[in-house]
Amino acid sequence: MSAKRKLFCFWGCMDALALVVYVIHSLRHGRVPFVTDVQAFFLAGDDRFFGIAPGLLFLLDATLLLSLFVSAWLFLNGSRYAPHFALGQELLRFIAFRSSVTLLPLFIGVTGLTNPWVNLPLFLIGEAVKIGSLIRVSKKTR
């Protein structure tokens, strides 16, 4: 298996794992994934001043979650568009603070490290590794 294929497999598995973790977390809290989130958002109220920013953040986070299906599929199928799609997702990841390396938040949750001075650097390092690896593999295939 080539290094590119291994990299694609890793990032595809990370996106698939992120979806699995989201679904399990929702089910453990008695919610229906996606459906309950949408219902809760619309039932939260209609405050025009405070509703715009949370509404936008909710929409961006939901877009990222749904795009994980696409990116996982692209990576696991070895699509040449996978790196470009994933790089496009990065802005959403930074806004939603959702790590590309799904194992990092799982590790943090297990260890109980809730200090932002630990979480933020791990998040930034994970995203830098993803961006760097995707740029590198994209340059090699040109």
37 shares a domain with 94: yes
Which amino acid type is present at position 50?
F
103 shares a domain with 93: no
75 shares a domain with 50: yes
Tell me, what's the pLDDT at 45? 61
| Burial classification of residue 74, based on how many CB atoms lie within 10 Å of its CB (0-12 exposed, 13-18 middle, 19 or more buried) | buried
Percent of the chain whose pLDDT exceeds 90: 64
Total domain count for the chain?
Answer: 2
Average pLDDT score over residue span 130-141? 89
32 shares a domain with 7: yes
Residue 51 has pLDDT above 70, yes or no: no
pTM: 0.87
Tell me, what's the pLDDT at 57? 85
**d(Cα 8, Cα 2) in Å, to the nearest integer?**
10
The mean of the pLDDT values for the chain is 89
**d(Cα 83, Cα 9) in Å, to the nearest integer?**
12
123 shares a domain with 72: no
12 shares a domain with 42: yes
Tell me, what's the pLDDT at 141? 67
62 shares a domain with 108: no
110 shares a domain with 50: no
119 shares a domain with 64: no
- Unique residue bearing structure tokens 């977390």: 25
Range of the domain at 64: 1-98
Percent of the chain whose pLDDT exceeds 70: 93
109 shares a domain with 65: no
| DSSP assignment string, 69-136 | HHHHHHHHTT-TTHHHHHHHHHHHHHHHT--SSTHHHHHHHHHT---HHHHHHHHHHHHHHHHHHHHH
Tell me, what's the pLDDT at 48? 55
105 shares a domain with 91: no
Tell me, what's the pLDDT at 80? 93
End-to-end CA distance of the chain: 19
Lowest pLDDT segment from 47-56, 57-66, 122-131:
47-56
68 shares a domain with 2: yes
Looking at per-residue confidence, does 53 or 15 come out higher?
15
